[in-house]
Each structure stands twice: as C-alpha cells, then as structure tokens.
Structure 1
Amino acid sequence: MRKRVAVGALALALGLAAAPLTAIGAQQPAQYQKAAAQAGKVIWEDNFDGSAGQRVNSSKWNTETGDNFGNNREHQYYTDSAGNAALDGSGNLVITAKKENPANYNCWYGRCQYTSARINTSGKFTTTYGKVEARMKLPRGKGIWPAFWMLGQDIGSNPWPNSGEIDIMEFLGHEQNKVYGTIHGPGYSGAGGVGGSYTGPNFADGFHTFAVEWAPNSIKWLVDGNVFFQTTPASVNGNRWVFDKPFFVILNLAVGGEWPGYPDASTQFPQQMLVDYVRVTDTSGDNGGGGGGGNPGVVKSGRVTGLGGKCLDVPWANSASGTPIQVVSCNGNAAQNWTFYTDGSIRALGKCLDVSNSGKADGTVIQLWDCNGTGAQKWAVSGANDVVNINADKCLDIKGNTSADGTRVQLWTCTGAANQKWNAFV
C-alpha cells in the first residue's frame, strides 16, 4: 500500500523478475518449506474468535480513522464502527466498505462517499524477520483495493519511504485472479517499488493464504505456499535496504485511488474482506521469539556443484582462516559439506565463505574465514543459479572456465557463463 505518496502503475518490469535474487536456500523443495513452517514457533497471532459483531481485540490492534490524509487519492473514510470492522462469529474478521456517509464525514475531495476500516499493530506488536501470513477471502469490483502489509515502526521519526514498507498482498477488485507483492524504500518507492505479481484463481471466490518469509537480506512472497517473488539488497539497485528492523502489521480495505481507479456503475456495495487469521512465525531457528536474534537458522546443507559436476571444496579440509576455496571431484567429505543459513552466510568446517578483504574487484580470492557477519560473507542465489556476493554484486566464478581438480574460485562480474552456475543440495 502506498502510504505517503501518490500511486501510479506499479513498476514491475525492472529486469529483476527474469533472474530474481533470493537468499541462499530460498528456492527449497516444497517438502522442506512445509517442514520448516511446521517447526517454527508462532510468536503472534489473531484467529478472530469471538461473537458476531464484536470489535477487534484492542490489545492487539489499533483502529485508524480519517481519510488517510488524502494519500493515494483514496475516497473512503476509515471509521471505528463495528459496521466497518467486526468479527462474524465464525472465526473471521470482516472489513466492510460501504457506500455511505452516516456522520457527514469530510474527505480531502469534499464530502466522503464511502466508509471502510483500517487496523494496525503499531506499538502493540512488531517483528523483525519471520513468516508473516494471513488467510483471507477478498472483495471484488472496480475501485476496490484491499491490502495486507507492513510499515517500519520508526515511521514517526523516519518518514516514509525511508522507514520502509512491505506489501505482503495487494489486490485490485477488477483483476480478481491477480495479487501483488512489493517493497518500498528510499529510491524505490511509489511506482518505483520493487515487486512481482501472482496469477491464480479468483481470489474473491474463496479463502487463500498470503505470506512473506522475511530473513536477513531476503524477502520472498507466497500465495498458498507457492513462492512467486524474492528480493535481496541486490534487488534495490544500489539503494539502501531498510528491512532489518521492527515492522508492524496493517490490514485495510481502501475504496478508489490512482492505481486501482474508482468505483463505477459495475461496482456493488457493500464489499467485504474476510480474514480467517493473521499469524507471525519465528523462522530464525534460534527459538528466540521474534526472529532475527541469536544464531542464524539453518536453511539446508549439502554439496555445491559447479562446472563439470565438480564440488566446491576446502583444500585438505584446512579450516584455517584464509584458506582459498577450490573445486575438485566430489568425495563426500566434510570439506565439501556446505551449510546455508538464514543470515545469508555459507559455511563449512565451522567457518564462512568469504571475499578476501571485502573486495569488489574481478579476480578477488574467495576463501574460508571466521564468520563475522560482514558483507564479504553475505551471499544470494539467482533464479539462474548464480551465487552472488551481495556486497560486491558479483558472482562466484571458477577461474579460467576449467573444471580441473584444484581450480580456485574467485569473484567476477556476473556474465551468465557456465563457470558461474551452481547447483546446491545435490
């Protein structure tokens, strides 16, 4: 949702979708995704259990009122009325948009034409990282714009877009089989947000689950468990990545705006967004409650193979810091067993895959080093199987394009060549 600036058409064709970068291991087998979700600890949730007509739990949610300061040129007035947001007695929150103005509300454009609701968890719950999901049935109609999203908790002192925004799900009521996921930050906000879309069934016909899995240096979007887009710091084209701090959750149903357009004769009222639950799961693996703290969680372990099927290897299993990394024939020993973590590090023998001296030049040595959390040890994988050092925005490369045993690996400008392609977990 574009909170502070006007919204035009989303800029979704930034060249990122062709080979989006994702944190190491994000493209996991479906069965591993399921197991990881089951193993996570739920740190916050609302199942909206209660009697019909009951308002949302005020210990969990704030109810916003007003016309959203005219942002996005929306036409609704958000109220605190149970007529716009209440439980249905069957385990759902119902947010209702109506064509009405029972209290003579004034909006930025004059007398308001519609009422609706917007709720948030600011000051009551925030999370840094984790799986944030909701199961919802969406409304329909031209000019109908529901959203499930997040804003940086520091927005009051660090105005949007510097505070950051994660749009988990946005939906345009006239495109009933498509949802959008986007991030906004400094240099990539409004129509310049970085995002993707998912085309599926008619989302107004039944319930579906919308989620992000958010880790250090990685956010990926899912619909009904299907990953459809991923971002990393490399995705924001040299701008500042602002997604390593607390964010709060928002649900709202807007009416009208520069992006969705405005209701017309075909739009029927009232329109309702039903929310079965909102849930946040700690996926950090540290059981610390809240994600992002303590030790990083393990994503997956196994061999990493490149050109000629040769394995990424620590020579002679030497765990000394500064040992240069090579490729050799796969032999199954510990020097070829790499573990990928949610913090973007790749580790073997208890140490991290590292770019020597945090270098960015072509030909910089790739080595083993004590894990220190610096950018020299942050890696991502593209959809085209490039392994990219995020700090340098360059690829893990086999020198000389040869698969001979003992060939060293290096940092190099990504070219798409075969000596920069890697298969993990084989």
Structure 2
Amino acid sequence: MHSSRSPRRLLSSAVATLALAALGLGLAGPAPDASGADHTAFRPAAQTAAVTFSDDFDGPAGSAVDGAKWQIETGDNVNNHERQYYTAGNRNAALDGQGHLVITARKENPGNYQCWYGRCEYTSARLNTAGRFTTTYGRVEARMKVPRGQGMWPAFWMLGNDIGQVGWPNSGEIDVMENVGFEPSTVHGTLHGPGYSGSGGIGAGYTLPGGQAFADAFHTFAVDWSPGRITWSVDGTVYQTLTPADLGGRTWVFDKPFFLILNLAVGGYWPGDPDGSTVFPQQLVVDHVRVTTADTPTTGGPITGIGGKCVDVAGAATANGTAVQLYDCNGTAAQRWTVGADGTIRALGKCLDVASGGTADGTVVQLWECNGSAAQRWAVPAARDIVNPQANKCLDAAGGSSASGTRLQIWTCTGGAHQKWTVTR
C-alpha cells in the first residue's frame, strides 16, 4: 500500500485490551517407467466447498449483530490519528431489516466521549470475530457498498490470532479491502508483517473503469488464501497475488489462524480528516461476509515442464515414497494432478511430498499419503514456479534435464526453464 498510514490494529479501550487478552488465552538417479494402466480421459473433479463462516445479516431493522459471531470494539485509535470514537451495541452498527449490516459514521458525540485529541467529534463502529471465529486459508469475502467523502476510511481485514502473544506487526495483517475517500474509484489490498508494516506494507490497488465510484453500488471484495499464496480480487477480477518470494527476504507470517474485522474509520494519517465537502452521516453497507474452503479443486490435469514433459508418478504406483519424475505426456492418471485450496498437489489419491520434510537443495519429491504437513504444501504463483514455502525452494528437474525419468527435487529458485511449470486447472 502506498499510504503513510500507521498501525491501525489497537484501540485504547478496556474492551480492546480484554479482547487481546482473550486471544492470548487461545479463545477465540532415473526412476522406473511410467506406463500407468488407466487411459481414461481426464474429467474435472467436483467442487466441494465448505462454508466455515457466513453472516447474511438477516434480522429486524435496528437490531445488533449476532454476538455469537461478532464482538464490538469501543474506543478511539491514536495510532492512526483517526477522529472517531467506536461505540458499543447497535448505535453505530445495526441491521437494516433488508439483509444488510449498516455501519454508520456520524458527526456527533452524545456520550461526551474523549479521544486522543480531546472531545471526540465523530462516532462509528468496529466489529471483529476474535474469540469467535478464525480461519487458516480459504476464500474470505464480503459484499459491500462503501461510503463516500473526504476522510472516510472503510475496511475489511484480518489480524493474526496470536497478536496477544507476539504483537503487531509480527502477528501479520491481511487487508482484504481498504478505501479512502479521496480515491472514490480505487481500493487497496495489502499485507503487513515484520519489516513491512504501516506505510511499508506490500500491496496493490484496483481501480474501477470509466470513473465509476465504489460508493455507487455493491461490490464483492475477496482474498483466496492458501499456503504461501494470497490472491486479491474485486467482483471476481484478480488484481494481485503475493507469495513469500514477493517479500524481499522478509518473514511470511500468513500460514496460521486469523480473525476478521469490519470497520469504518473517520480521518487519520492516510485518508486525511473530513472537510467542508464531507456530508454526514456516511454508511458502510455490508450484504454478507463469508469464508469458504474448497476441499477439492474444481479442475485438474497435467503439469508440464521443460521439454514439454509431464510431472509423472513413476509406474503409476500408489505406494508411499514412489518417485515423481518427468516423463513423456501420455494422459494417464499418473499425470493428472489437482491443485487444492489447502496448498496440496495430488495424484492417485496421494500428495506431492518433499521427502522427510527436507529443505536442502536436491531433496527429492515423492508421492505420499496426505498428512497436512508443510512438506506437502505448495504455492503456484503466476510466474510459473511451484514453491514449497517451508523450504522456500522451487520444484526442479534434476540437472536441468528434460529426459524421461528425470527425478524431480526442490532447489533454490533460479528462474531457469527446468523450474517453470504449466499447471492445468
């Protein structure tokens, strides 16, 4: 993100302190021939999507959000020099009776709230799922219509569930969507972590075509998150993917549980304060928040590499430890791979695995029973590398060879042709 923003994650209230304390307690050589006998044509695997969190905000107009799913934070935020006071209950966050959550920012102070700068000038709301729901990987999305005007700062984002133990930015922060009022046509998706936080966050923006404003209609903001890989989209259009290779050697802290946050801030270092052009009240209208995990990929097929050869399970064997190699493409089940949302790459009902969980150059890969370990997690970025995040090394054809029977291994990423792969999805 190209902002000058400071950490936005902590409020000064006792409620926020208790929430973090709750988090601290855990609440919240060549191989055999590959002549497999199965010559049936490839058929796409069926999609099995598990909904792990969903809120469609159904309920009577004026009612508060579901307390089993969300907690309401209160207080101000000196870290960003935001101007609002976040209130409790349904005063600034309420259902509209039409299937929406409405977070309202008002220029008022009925409770004589005190902020870092004196008597607060605005009220708003901030909700999170800490102690109620966390997720590691999956598709995280919200369909929303944002407010408009100078000084408005709506956001849908996530924080690492271990923030109570390690603090921010070591906990990590995934900003699914942020908008600032002076950019009505643009939203931002950003990662924050150790050495790349605040104004040094790593991310990108997405701009609507033709001068459209995000405040004019509902839009769906999402990340698709798997081991070592996070992809951002707006209305299904992907605009950014980040992997550990994009952090310049800094630590990737995004393979662990995170909780969700929705808020509407007023003012601050990045958006600037409201001015005479800003009309109040302003509203962030949320149609739904949903988290799904794809247990089975939607498609699958060959993975091709150097010399046009295919990634192949030697002899189409299914025994643990069977070699994975390059071989002439033949359309058999030994060469049909599926890439899962959980970061696995599978064939013949088993997983592509780094032998013994090794991280050294030259460690061979094999077929092994799927066990959820880091040795079986892979990132498949647009650059066509296939990376094991644990080792931070690339899938590699040994010796740079394209001969059938060449064993596959992990090796320091060089960008060479023997480390480039085309994955059929």
Q: 1:180 to 1:400 in 2, by over 3 A?
A: same
Q: Indicate the SS of the match to 1:419.
A: helix
Residues in 2 aligned to 1:205 and 1:175: alpha-carbon distance in whole angstroms: 13
Q: Which one of 196, 202, 206 corresponds to residue 217 of structure 2?
A: 206
What is the deviation of 1:202? 1.7
Q: 1:40 to 1:364 in 2, by over 3 A?
A: closer
What is the deviation of 1:307? 2.2
Matched, 1:265 2:264: no
CA displacement, residues 255-283 of structure 1 (integer Å, 9 cap, x when unaligned): 111122222233222211111122233x1
What is the deviation of 1:253? 0.5
Q: Indicate the SS of the match to 1:72.
A: coil
Aligned pairs (5 A) from 1:19-418: 36=47, 39-68=48-77, 70-80=78-88, 82-200=90-208, 201-281=212-292, 283-285=293-295, 297-298=296-297, 300-418=299-417
What is the deviation of 1:89? 2.8
Q: Indicate the SS of the match to 2:407.
A: strand
Asked if the contact 1:217–1:343 (Cα under 8 Å) also holds between the matched residues in 2, the reply is no
**302-311 or 403-412: bigger deviation:** 403-412
Where does the alignment leave 5 or more consecutive residues of structure 1 unmatched? 7-31, 286-296
Q: Indicate the SS of the match to 1:316.
A: helix
Asked if the contact 2:226–2:379 (Cα under 8 Å) also holds between the matched residues in 1, the reply is no
Q: 1:43 to 1:317 in 2, by over 3 A?
A: closer
Residues in 2 aligned to 1:328 and 1:123: alpha-carbon distance in whole angstroms: 49
Question: Percent identical across equivalent pairs?
Answer: 63
Asked if the contact 1:221–1:228 (Cα under 8 Å) also holds between the matched residues in 2, the reply is yes
Residues in 2 aligned to 1:187 and 1:250: alpha-carbon distance in whole angstroms: 22
Q: Indicate the SS of the match to 2:307.
A: helix
What is the deviation of 1:235? 4.3
CA displacement, residues 34-56 of structure 1 (integer Å, 9 cap, x when unaligned): x84xx423333222233333333
Amino acid at match of 1:62: Q
Amino acid at match of 1:150: M
Residues in 1 aligned to 2:376 and 2:52: alpha-carbon distance in whole angstroms: 29
Asked if the contact 1:4–1:161 (Cα under 8 Å) also holds between the matched residues in 2, the reply is no
CA displacement, residues 379-426 of structure 1 (integer Å, 9 cap, x when unaligned): 211212112222332322334544333333343333333332211227
Asked if the contact 2:204–2:240 (Cα under 8 Å) also holds between the matched residues in 1, the reply is yes
Q: 1:355 to 1:170 in 2, by over 3 A?
A: same
Amino acid at match of 1:247: F
TM-score by length of 1: 0.80
Asked if the contact 2:50–2:294 (Cα under 8 Å) also holds between the matched residues in 1, the reply is no
Residues in 1 aligned to 2:110 and 2:378: alpha-carbon distance in whole angstroms: 55
Q: Indicate the SS of the match to 2:239.
A: strand
Q: Indicate the SS of the match to 1:308.
A: helix
Residues in 2 aligned to 1:61 and 1:323: alpha-carbon distance in whole angstroms: 47
Matched, 1:3 2:3: no
Amino acid at match of 1:423: T
What is the deviation of 1:107? 0.7
Q: 1:325 to 1:252 in 2, by over 3 A?
A: same
Q: 1:61 to 1:392 in 2, by over 3 A?
A: closer
Amino acid at match of 2:8: K
Asked if the contact 2:243–2:381 (Cα under 8 Å) also holds between the matched residues in 1, the reply is no
Q: Indicate the SS of the match to 2:214.
A: coil
**309-318 or 229-238: bigger deviation:** 229-238
What is the deviation of 1:97? 1.2
Asked if the contact 1:5–1:72 (Cα under 8 Å) also holds between the matched residues in 2, the reply is no
Q: Indicate the SS of the match to 1:301.
A: coil
Aligned length: 385
Q: 1:323 to 1:59 in 2, by over 3 A?
A: closer
Asked if the contact 1:325–1:409 (Cα under 8 Å) also holds between the matched residues in 2, the reply is yes
**301-310 or 120-129: bigger deviation:** 120-129
Q: 1:57 to 1:394 in 2, by over 3 A?
A: closer
Q: Indicate the SS of the match to 2:231.
A: strand
Amino acid at match of 2:57: F
Residues in 2 aligned to 1:274 and 1:169: alpha-carbon distance in whole angstroms: 14
CA displacement, residues 277-300 of structure 1 (integer Å, 9 cap, x when unaligned): 22233x142xxxxxxxxxxx4464
TM-score by length of 2: 0.80
